[in-house]
Structure 1
Amino acid sequence: AVHSILVDRWNKNNTPLHCLAHTLNPNYYSEQWLIEDPTQVPPRKDNEINQEKMHEEILPSLGKSNKVNLKYADFVSKIGAFRDFDSIENRYAMDPKAWWLLHGSCAPMLQTIALRLLSQPSSSSCARRNWSTDSFVHSMRRNKIAPKPAEDLVFIHSNLRLLSRKSPQYAQGETRMWNIGGDTFDTFEDVGVLEIANLSLD
């Protein structure tokens, strides 16, 4: 059961853009991350991930692609403009997007690509929640509602739910488990591993 859950999660995230984002995450090239587990390798040494190159949709010009690939080589090898001590030390300590904002100015095209890719959500759960709310608002009984009122109702419904999380009652009763496997994993208390895994699947 656990293996099938892990395989399902991997298959969902094993897309070209996700793989490319993985290779541009500075955390995965830091010494601290690599020594956490001896089986971990930097993305450049993972053939299954590193096979994804800069796509034509992102870099339509071959000249641009060559320039970005050269900067990418500097980034993964920690040479050139990326050999700075702070740049190397911050790879593990900083948020990946913050790292690129601070240390990526020497490679503006690669920086732009990294920020775009690292900003993508790793899960479709947020969109699915939105679609679920939309189907609740725009039901068979209310199928003549105009798009703008429907959008407003979805907005109100979603934000009322977010505001309700601040109430003390939210952490009690049945609603206590609603956030498990959502956008963040705040607590795993009293929850089994398989239960978390199943709830976190999109």
Structure 2
Amino acid sequence: MMRSFTQKREMLRPGKTRFATAFLTLSRFHKQKANLRKMFTSEEWTNSRFAKETRGKQAAQTMLQESFWKNILFALKVSGPLVKVLRVVDNEDKPDMPYIYEAMDRAKEAIAKSFDDESKYEKIFEIIDERWNVQLHRPLHAAGYYLNPAFFYSNESIREDNEVIEGLYACIERLVPTVEVQDKLSKELSFYKNSEGLFGKQICIRGRNQLSPVEWWSQFGTGTPNLQKFVMKICSLTCSSSGCERNWSIFEHVSISILLVILSIN
């Protein structure tokens, strides 16, 4: 019966994990809202045996409650941007280390823009920040963000972001073995920050958004060899399959916490 009202569309859409499956299924429910409500108010439903069963009555009551659909929309507004972060992490086409930090910031901005009242998402941010800071946020992510020319030159606030800069220098101290090389690398950073040497050439400037960070540094970082070697180590990193599985699992916990918040709000 349902398939006849939804143009043969199934509601369950399997994903890589339970979190992805839940999001995709909620999205399908949202798209089919009018058709599902139409089904539960149709004569076909009323005359069916399902309408007389306890579970059928509960399903009809749920589908006709406006609060149910409001909760679905709330969950989609919150989960949608997080799914995009997971797609960055799970991408096998290019190294994702230079993109994760910015992707998470963009996700939080998208969530905030979806609501007109900060109180509606502040608890959600607490859940996200707790998971992000404890399990996903590492100096490597901050360093990759800083050394991605597409982000660095288009967002001047990066240069004043203490968290990002601390992450960068933590990586330098950890990955660069000698003090002498660390000092050389620190001096070379000024060429990058001030667009000096090759970094100031128009072809290099155009390449900021045309090339991947690895390609960009490979072509234009020859004047800063110590920095180039360091950047290539970081920007070439990608998540392993096991790492992606852990990330999906982490956000599954986030989704459960979000649902609890929804219930408390409504």
TM-score by length of 2: 0.41
Superposition pairs for residues 42-191 of structure 1, below 5 Å?
A: 42-52=157-167, 53=169, 54-121=171-238, 123=239, 126-128=241-243
Q: Is the 8 A contact 2:221 2:228 kept in 1?
A: yes
* CA deviation profile, 1:162-187 (whole Å, cap 9, x unmatched): xxxxxxxxxxxxxxxxxxx97xxxxx
CA distance in 2, matches of 1:105, 1:42: 26
2:198–2:204 CA contact under 8 A, matched in 1 = no
Please say if residues 30 and 88 of structure 1, whose CA atoms lie closer than 8 Å, have aligned partners that are also in contact. no
Say whether 1:14 aligns with 2:137: yes
TM-score, reference length from structure 1: 0.53
Check the 8 A contact 2:145/2:152 in 1, yes or no. Answer: no
Q: Kindly state the Cα deviation for residue 92 of structure 1 after the two structures are TM-superposed.
A: 1.9
Gaps of 5+ in 2: 1-122, 257-266
Structure 1 unmatched ranges of 5 or more:
35-40, 132-180, 183-193
Q: 1:130 to 1:19 in 2, by over 3 A?
A: closer
- Give the 3 Å change call, closer, same or farther, for CA 128–100 of structure 1 in structure 2: closer
Post-superposition, which runs of at least 4 consecutive aligned residues in structure 1 deviate over 4 A?
Answer: 128-131
**Compared CA separation, residues 107 and 129, structure 1 to 2 (3 A):** closer
Task: After superposition, give the CA deviation of every residue in 1:7-66 in whole Å (9 maximum; x if it has no partner).
Answer: 1453133212222222111111233xx4xxxxxx44222111112315333222222111
Does the C-alpha gap of structure 1 residues 57 and 104 become closer, same or farther in structure 2, counting only changes over 3 Å? same
Higher relative contact order (CA 8 A, sep 6+): 2
The 1-side partners of 2:137 and 2:216 are apart by 24
Q: Which amino acid in 1 is paired with 2:223?
A: C
Would you say the 8 A contact 2:197–2:223 is kept in 1? no
CA distance in 2: counterparts of 1:127 and 1:119, whole angstroms: 18
Q: Classify 1:60/1:22 alpha carbon distance in 2 versus 1 (closer, same or farther; 3 Å).
A: same
Cα distance 1:129–1:78, how it changes in 2: closer, same or farther (>3 A)?
closer
SS at match of 2:172: coil
Cα pair distance change 1:115/1:77, threshold 3 Å:
same
Looking at structure 2, the residues matched to 59 and 13 of structure 1 have their Cα atoms a distance apart, in angstroms, of: 23
Question: Match of 1:28, SS?
Answer: helix
Larger Rg: 2
